[in-house]
Structure 1
Amino acid sequence: MDLRQLEYFVAVAEERSFTRAAERVHISQSGVSAQIRQLERELGAELFDRSARAATLTAAGHAALGHARAALSAAGSVSQAVGDVTDLIRGRLTVGMVTGCTITPLFDALAAFHRAHPGVEVRLLEDTSDRLVDGVRSHTLDLALVGSARAEHEGLDAMTIVSERIVAAVQADHPLARRSSVTLRDVSAHPVVCMPPGTGLRTVFDEACAAQGLRPTIALEASAADAVAGLAARGLAVAVLSASMAAPHGGRLTARTIDDAPSPALLSLVWKPDRSPAAREFLRYGRRAFTGGPDDGADGRVTTTAT
C-alpha cells in the first residue's frame, strides 16, 4: 500500500465516481481503478460496491476512509515541516519599512533573525506606507512596518507598535508657542511642514482637517522627522509631528498637542495570515524586540518613532 493508492481511494469515496476521481487526480479512469483494485487485494476486502451507478463505500471502505485521510494528512505535515526547515536554511525574507523611520527594535529583530538563520537572505526596503501595505498583500513583501491612521488593514494581520497623538511644533517665539491649547484651525492659519502623503502621520492630519473643512497650506514636506523638525526650528513653518518625534527637539521647539485631532498616528507591523515560514519565524523575534515579552502572538506596544 502506498500514499498514491490512498489518495485515489479518498478521491473516489468523496466524488462517489471513478470518472470524477480520475479527473480530480489527473490520471485515467483505468489507472484509478487499477490502483484501487491493487489496494483491495492488499487489504483483502472490497472497498466499493460497484453494482450501482455511483461508487459507494462498503463496510470495509467506511472503516478505512478515516484512517486513509489521517495518513494523507500526516504525510502532508511531514512535507510541510521539511519545507519550512528548507525555507529557513536557504529562503528569503523581505521586510518593508516606511520611509523616514529609524526603528531600533526592527533592526534588533532583523539582526537576531539573521544570526539564527544565516542562510536566509534578508532584504529591507523603504517606501510609503500605502505602497508597503500593497506589497504585503501582493506577497512582494513578507512583512512591513507601516504608519497609518487605523489599526486594521483589510486582509492583513497587524501588531500595533506605537499609538500617539499628533502635535504642532514651533519655535519658542512663535505665536502658537504662547497658547495653552492649539486647534487644527490655529495650525492651518500658518504654513505647515509635514510628512509626505502615504505616511500615517500625514493621513491622520489630512483626515482631521478634511473633517472640519480645513485646507492647510503644506508649504514643505520631508520624509524624515528630523528634517521636519529642523525646518520648523528655522521658522519656515509649523511642524506637524507625533509626540515622540518632537520630543528630541525640545530645546529648539515647543510642542502643543492638537486638541481637536484625537485620532492617533499608528505604527504597525503588518503581514499576511498565510505568511511564509521565514516571516513566521521573524515575527517571533519582532514580538520580542518590540514588546520585550514572549513571542506568543499577543499584540504589544513600544514607544519609538511613528510616521
Structure 2
Amino acid sequence: MDLDMRRVRYFVAVAEESSFVRAASRLHMTQPALSRQIRALEEDLSVVLFQRDRQGTLLTRAGHQLLEDARPMLSMAQAVQQRVRMANREVNHFTIGFMPGVIVTPIVREFARTAPQLDIEVVHTSITDQVDFLLDGRVDVCYVRLPLPEGMFEVVPLFPEPRVVALSSAHPLAELKAVHVEDLRDMTLLQDPLDVPEWRGRVPRHPVMPLEDTGRFPVTIEECLEGVASGAGCYVMPAGMAGFYRRDDVAYLTLEGVAPRMVALAYTKHRTMPELHQFAELSRRMLGPGAD
C-alpha cells in the first residue's frame, strides 16, 4: 500500500511535539481525529509508531525509523510541487544557493551569459541548512561543504578548504597565526565533536550561553561565536567563512592537525534539467582542480 503523505505529515507533527494534544493544535484539527489518522497509518504499515504512558508520547523503534525517513521525504514532496509549478511558467527559473566564503559571482555571470533563457536567482544558505534548501526545492543547485547525506545528491567536488579555529580575542593564543589542534585540548569545543573528528579535548556538558535549552550544542554559527567571544570555548570553521563573520572580540587562527572541508556543488539526484549539468561543468572549470 502506498503511503498517505498527509498521514505521514501528521505523524511527524506528533513525533516533534511528543503530544497528540499539542500536535492537534498545531495542525488545526481535533485530537480524536488526529488519533484516528495515526492509527490508520499504523495499520497501513502494520507497526506501532508510538508508546503512550505517563511520561508522554514516545516513539517506538519503528517510529524512530519512520521519522528519520519521513522528514526528507516530505521535503522532497514539497520540492516536486514547487518545481512542477515553476515548469508551468513561461520563463524557466533557476535558483543557485551559495554560502559565505565561496565567491560565485563570476560563475553566475558567465552562466547567465550562456543561458539567457533562464531567470536566475541567487540565494544565501549556511552549513546548518544547506541540505534543507536542496531537499525542499528552494534551490536547484547549491554550493555546499561536505559531508552530505549519502545517496540523495549528485555531488561535484571542487576544492579543499583549510579550517580555522575561533578563539576569544582575550585568549593567550589569540596573538598567534596558527595553532595545532592538540594545543587546544584544555579548551571546550562549542560544537558537535563529530564536526571535528580529530578533536580529543573537552566538549560542553551543559549548553553554552546564550542558549536556554539544556542538552544541545549551539545550533547557528552566530550562537557559537557568541560563546567564543564570552570565553566559553573555541569553534572550528572553514577558513573562507572567517572573513564573513569578522568581529573584534573573536580571533581566527589557522588550525593545523585537522583535515580540510571539501567545497562542492550539489543537486538532487535523478533530475534531468540540462542546465544543472551545464552549471556543474562551469563550476568545475572555474573552481575545480586546475582552475585559475
Q: Name the TM-score class by shorter chain.
A: 0.3 to 0.5
The TM-score with structure 2 as length reference comes to 0.47
Flag the structure with larger Rg: 1
TM-score by length of 1: 0.45
